[in-house]
Amino acid sequence: MDPLAVEATVPHVRKMRREDVDAVVAIETEAFSSPWRRETFMELIDRPTAELFVMVHRDEGVIGYAVLWCVLDQGELANVAIAARMRGRGLGRALLAEVLAVAKSRGVESVFLEVRESNAPALGLYQEFGFREVGRRRGYYDHPREDARILMAKI
């Protein structure tokens, strides 16, 4: 196959735009039991402490997204998700790598996040990137009620 044709089908990561929000909300609703509302994403797009990204596939459109807060030398990965139909292809790994690179370029030295303790795929991915448990939030998640593991990585 032509290398340029292959490259054209590789998803890329870019800043989220307002026209991406409906696709992002669809992924958010599919991925989380207590999803953020459309208005939340719209409000965050212009906020200077927030970095919002989408992963875009030429044929599939928006297939993933991430939200990162950056305050001084700390970051918080608030949300990250890949569309269910596209999972298991290493796309979450690629998206996380891009997000952490942007965090580092903004002077962030450590990134925190919360993850359901039952979310083994996400926990495994975060561990690959050097995230380690630094605490727990008891009963943090609803539907079902579950603890959150607080993870942190130095970048």
Query: Which of 28, 51, 65, 126 does the annotation list as catalytic?
Result: 126
- Fold observed for domain 3-154: Aminopeptidase (3.40.630)
pLDDT for the residue 10? 77
Q: Which helix (H) or strand (E) holds 66?
A: strand 61-71
For residue 43, indicate whether it is catalytic. Answer: no
pLDDT for the residue 67? 98
| The two structure tokens encoding residue 112 | 């925190």
For residue 141, indicate whether it is catalytic. Answer: no
Distance in angstroms (rounded) separating the CA atoms of residues 152 and 113: 7
pLDDT for the residue 139? 93
Domain ranges of the chain: 3-154
Query: Is residue 104 classed as helix, strand or coil in its secondary structure?
Result: helix
**pTM given for the model:** 0.89
pLDDT for the residue 71? 94
Query: Which of 109, 114, 140, 141 does the annotation list as catalytic?
Result: 114
pLDDT for the residue 143? 86
Average pLDDT across each block of 10 residues of the chain; the chain has 155 residues. List them in order. Answer: 50 97 97 94 95 96 97 96 94 96 96 95 96 96 93 97
- Give yes or no for a cis peptide into 144 (omega within 30° of 0): yes
pLDDT for the residue 30? 95
Q: Confirm if 132 and 92 have CB atoms less than 8 A apart.
A: no
